[in-house]
Amino acid sequence: MILRCTKKLLEVLRPAQMAAPEPDDDDWYANLLWFDRRKCLLLTHVATLFTVFEPDIRTANLRPVHPLVTYLIERELRAEGLPSEAFGDLRSGPFILAKTADRSVVGCMNDMAFLCDHHVFEAGSLADMDLRTLNHRLHRNINSSRDYHRPIDLVSARVAASGARAPDRRGRGQGTRCAPLRGG
């Protein structure tokens, strides 16, 4: 997994070393936002613009950043009824921190940050906003740079193309369904 961080986030993370991998559609971008004097994390997948917002992040939560990022992405995939492997196995394999490489993705993230700001403003404060509703909106925010497709639709198409099955929303395990009751 490659996590491309904005300068603001890199200043907080202070990585010992930085890689310079070639940009890829499977990269993730991360930005640090501030609302109500609290740090918030915004994550965005390059190919789909699937975005995750997490409020009230502490610096200690960001070190190491890999477990937090994978947890947040998988949490949002589960919330949408998608398999946690929709973006591949994010937990295994190398984890690379890098600088941002695509200004159009950063621009889309700025638009999403504005959407987050508006949502927090509507709620009255960061503490009063509904995180689930905000992330739901972010997953459905259309963007011209992805031919006006919603991120959730792009991820769903990706899952369908891979042949993966969505988890059972009732929490009974992937693909497990109860047999319907028969009248008698």
**DSSP assignment string, 70-125:** HHHHHHHHHHTT--TTBTB-SSSS--EEEE---HHHHHHHHHHHHHHHHHHHHHSS
pTM attached to this predicted model: 0.85
Q: What is the pLDDT of residues 75-109, one digit of tens each?
A: 999 999 999 999 998 988 889 999 999 999 999 99
User: Residue 182: pLDDT above 70?
Assistant: no
Contact 85, 164 (CB under 8 A): yes
Alpha-carbon span 167 to 172, nearest angstrom: 8
Helix (H) / strand (E) containing 156: helix 151-162
Q: What is the pLDDT of residues 42-54, one digit of tens each?
A: 999 999 999 999 9
For 143-164, letters b (16+ CB in 10 Å) and e give: beeeeeebbbebbbebbeeeee
Structure tokens at 22: 């070639």
- Rounded to a whole number, what is the distance in angstroms from the first to the last CA of the chain? 53
Alpha-carbon span 54 to 39, nearest angstrom: 9
